[in-house]
Copies of this chain bind each other. A is one copy, B any other.
Amino acid sequence: MPGPGEFQIIRDYFSGAPQGEGVALGIGDDCALLQPPPGLLATSVDTLVADRHFPADANPGLIASRALRVNLSDLAAMNARPLWFTLALTLPDSNPDWLRRFADGLLQTAEAFGISLVGGDTTRGPLSITVEVIGSTHKPLRRDGAGVGHGIHVSGPLGAAAAALPVVLNEREVTESERRAAEEAYYRPQPQLSMAAALGDIASAAVDISDGLLADLGHICKASGLTAEVQMEKLPVAALAQTLAGERALQLAATGGDDYQLCFTLPPEHAEAAEKLGAVCIGTLTEGQGEVRPRLKGEPWVHPSAGFQHF
């Protein structure tokens, strides 16, 4: 078989990763050794599969960026500070150019968010990438902490990634600048770590919007035993969604996945603080049993899709 072996891949492409806080021993032994800071650890794992979550021939640096960012978003949703991550990489072959670009994208993203690659596994098989992140939190934002009367807020514009998807999948022709904007939206979502850090002490619950606002808000409602009244006209719809999807933009903002903004809830006295940080209030929690009730100008809004289903 051509190409470098497992040990050489790890050594050549990934062992240049900077060793950050709490890393007693990084890549290269049976385990990494980590010194956790005081407080709780938060951990999350996500797998991206070729031709399901990204086209197999996509830019490897962008694939790596997305694989790490979607996991960092889970840390943001828990109000956890990124510390360490591992990479399990399954590859159909061992292409040095592909690996170099993947590793560059991964390590650049890691550096930007202050997280250290501490271990991994490389295996031969159909292309897929599993990243596990570990962070530190003193004030975790669980889904079950919301209360009656708390406001529902989102951290930023929605719908861009869903509008970008047909472009990323080469199902739609667009201008070169639209393509670049679509790739940016889909492959480089911005984990809302700063917003989480700023609101962690005052928010009552949070979730990241990976499967669509209404679906993910539903998790807070179910976990907290409440109903969400959503005013659809207040949704911050991404400019790219308006450009690419026109009148479907609102629907994409409500039900499209992959934006990785945060949806969080706040006691009303803190609404102003959230607004100053750029978050947008889109509704209120009332007594109930886990329902999400979207309304547009007072009328029930019927949504054609209920979030991305993995099966």
Contact = CB atoms under 8 A, between A and B. Distances in A.
Interface of A: 1, 3-6, 9, 24-25, 28-36, 40-50, 52-53, 74-75, 77-78, 80, 84, 86-88, 90-91, 93-94, 118-126, 128, 130, 132, 134-135, 137, 140, 142-144, 206-208, 223, 309-311
Nearest to A84: B43
A68 to B, nearest CB: 14
Contact of A123 (B36, B84, B87, B310): B310
Given A6-B310, A124-B311, A311-B3, A35 B24 contact: no
A125 B47 CA distance: 10
Given A35-B40, A123-B52, A311-B5, A45 B88 contact: yes
A78 B28 CA distance: 12
18 contacts: A5-B309, A24-B40, A25-B140, A28-B143, A29-B78, A29-B144, A30-B207, A31-B75, A31-B78, A31-B135, A43-B84, A43-B118, A44-B119, A45-B86, A45-B120, A45-B130, A46-B121, A132-B132
A170 B199 CA distance: 57
Given A126-B126, A128-B90, A44 B32 contact: yes
Given A40-B35, A78-B33, A142-B29, A88 B46 contact: yes
B3 A45 contact: no
Contact of A125 (B35, B49, B91, B119): B49
Given A31-B44, A45-B88, A135-B31, A4 B119 contact: no
Contact of A41 (B33, B42, B132): B33
A45 B208 CA distance: 25
The prevalent SS among residues of A at the interface is strand
B78 A1 contact: no
Given A30-B44, A43-B118, 9 more contacts: A6-B311, A31-B135, A33-B40, A36-B36, A45-B119, A45-B130, A49-B124, A94-B311, A125-B126
Nearest to A205: B29
A154 to B, nearest CB: 15
Interface centre among A29, A41, A126, A140, by most chain B C-beta atoms within 10 angstroms, is A29
A31 B80 contact: yes
A241 B121 CA distance: 28
8 interchain residue pairs of minimum CB distance: A49-B125, A6-B310, A31-B42, A30-B77, A126-B126, A31-B78, A36-B36, A31-B44
Contacts of A34: 40-43
B74 A1 contact: no
Contacts of A310: 5-6, 122-124
Contacts of A49: 90, 123-126
Contacts of A43: 31-32, 34, 84, 86, 118-119, 134
B123 A47 contact: yes
